């Protein structure tokens, strides 16, 4: 990870869970991390923790609603002005609404598409353009995908969510191919975790916290730090090695 010291990483959805764990791991390795989320109070608290712990990198909180393209473009403009540009883009932000295919609300579907697919694509495009205009040829784009982007579980509440994650699987390979066509050495990686103990299930089952808690109590789940370790692994691979996709599940997870 030494070659990333002082380089700039963008982590979306950095306030909690996997995003916060990734952010802290990169700061620990000396990177300058722009952590964005709709609310930044938790990122500001994390930044203070990183500073008090004496970590060698820095965390810059940034407020951004990823469902709004103008806010994303404004964020990239600010990063360019203050920090030259983005060298590593980690598309972590994602959400699920329990909206089945046969009875779900269109607004819920649209929100999932806006954040899980469109925001990821916009951030990727802008990060690549930032790298290109600065002649950065060793950048990295990492998409936090899901096992739901590789198989469909028999649960109506997550079928549309799964469709957005299948899109991420296709987008990551498409990005890899376009980077090859552009003759760059910028890498593209997806990380696809199974069940991770975060706030995710509590947001999905907002009206049934007992169901959310039971989801995590049923098996020994992955932890956010496990996904952060996978990100570090992908970043630390030698420059000629591209980690395409990491599929990771709890040992006890069935599907």
For residue 131, the tally of other CB atoms under 10 A from its CB is 23
* CA–CA separation, 191 and 197 (whole Å): 16
Radius of gyration of the chain (CA): 17
Q: Using CA atoms, how far apart are residues 60 and 195, in angstroms rounded to an integer?
A: 29
Q: In the annotation, is 233 catalytic?
A: no
From the list 62, 161, 166, 216, the catalytic residue is 161
Give Cα 108 to chain centroid, integer Å: 20
| Alpha carbon 169 to its chain's center | 13
Nearest of 90, 127, 123, 88 to residue 1 by alpha carbon: 88
CB contact at 8 A, 119 and 138: no
Catalytic residues: 161
């Amino acid at each position: 990870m030494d070659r990333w010291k002082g380089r700039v990483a963008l982590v979306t959805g950095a306030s909690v869970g996997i995003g916060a764990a990734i952010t802290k791991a990169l700061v620990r390795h000396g990177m300058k991390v722009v952590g964005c989320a709709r609310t930044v109070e938790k990122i500001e608290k994390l930044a203070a923790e990183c500073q008090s712990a004496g970590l060698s990198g820095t965390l810059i909180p940034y407020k951004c609603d990823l469902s709004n393209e103008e806010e994303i473009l404004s964020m990239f403009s600010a990063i360019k002005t203050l920090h030259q540009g983005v060298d590593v883009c980690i598309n972590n932000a994602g959400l699920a609404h329990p909206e089945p295919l046969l009875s779900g609300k269109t607004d819920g579907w649209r929100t999932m598409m806006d954040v899980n697919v469109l925001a990821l694509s916009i951030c990727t495009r802008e990060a690549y353009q930032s790298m290109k205009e600065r002649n950065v040829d060793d950048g990295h784009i990492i998409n936090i995908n899901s096992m739901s982007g590789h198989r469909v579980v028999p649960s109506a509440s997550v079928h549309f969510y799964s469709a957005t994650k299948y899109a991420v699987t296709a987008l990551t390979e498409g990005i890899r191919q376009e980077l090859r066509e552009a003759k760059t050495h910028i890498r593209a990686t997806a990380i696809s975790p199974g069940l991770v103990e975060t706030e995710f299930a509590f947001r999905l089952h907002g009206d049934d916290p007992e169901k959310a808690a039971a989801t995590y109590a049923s098996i020994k789940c992955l932890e956010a730090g496990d996904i952060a370790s996978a990100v570090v692994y992908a970043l630390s691979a030698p420059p000629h090695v591209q980690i395409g996709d990491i599929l990771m599940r709890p040992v006890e997870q069935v599907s």
